[in-house]
Amino acid sequence: MLLARARQAIIAIAAVTMAVLSGCSSYKPAPKVFHEATIQPYRLDSGDRLRVTVFEQASLSNSYTVDQAGYIAFPLIGQVAARGQTLPQMEGAIAQKLRQGYLRDPDVTIEMDRYRSIFVMGEVGQPGQYSYVPGMTVQNAIAVAGGFSSRANQRDVDVTRKINADIVTGRVPITDPLLAGDTIYVRERLF
């Protein structure tokens, strides 16, 4: 009887140890490129809304949203590729297309009107899609999503980010900065 209980205890301890170790095997620290992306110039993608101003051309000055294919539909010149472009690159592309038979010397400026959303999932009060604000950290995003649940691991989270057309996931502390379009997953703590 005592031997059977000892075996059950050993089996239970082994099961808990295996569960903990399997959780550790999925640990993946954020690669160097993951952190470098936060200091690079902002790259446009689907869901971003731009405020485009063409000097002395009120009919062309407006807000334009980057569609799912990564383009904005601009009057006179049609589709302009936006995905992966910086704001100065977009200004140059629009100005160049407008020079091709529409305007002599267009002066184009672009500002961000609205960034694409971030997503907060896992052990938070209200998982969902939220507006991104420049300078936002993981902790800010969790606060907007109703804070940590009672079961949340509050030390670090998994963030999934698109970098140069690659989807990269890494584990980061809650003080790390976010980028528009990031997905934050708050894991459940083990104990």
As a whole-number percent, the residues of the chain with pLDDT over 70 amount to 85
Q: What is the pLDDT of residue 189?
A: 86
Which pLDDT band, with edges at 50, 70 and 90, does 35 fall under? Answer: confident
Residue where the block lists tokens 């606060």: 143
Check pLDDT > 90 for residue 71.
yes
d(CA 87, CA 91): 6
- 105 neighbors 54 (Cβ within 8 angstroms): no
Total-model pTM: 0.78
Give tens-digit pLDDT for 91-101: 999 999 999 98
d(CA 174, CA 177): 8
Check pLDDT > 80 for residue 153.
yes
Q: What is the pLDDT of residue 38?
A: 84
d(CA 168, CA 181): 12
In CATH terms, the superfamily for domain 49-114 is: wza like domain (3.30.1950.10)
Give tens-digit pLDDT for 84-125: 999 999 999 999 999 998 899 999 999 999 999 999 999 999
Q: Under CATH, to which class is 28-41+116-186 assigned?
A: alpha beta
Give tens-digit pLDDT for 166-189: 888 889 999 999 999 999 999 998
Judge if 28-41+116-186 and 49-114 fold alike in CATH terms.
no
Domain ranges of the chain: 28-41+116-186, 49-114
Q: What is the pLDDT of residue 30?
A: 74
As a whole-number percent, the residues of the chain with pLDDT over 90 amount to 67
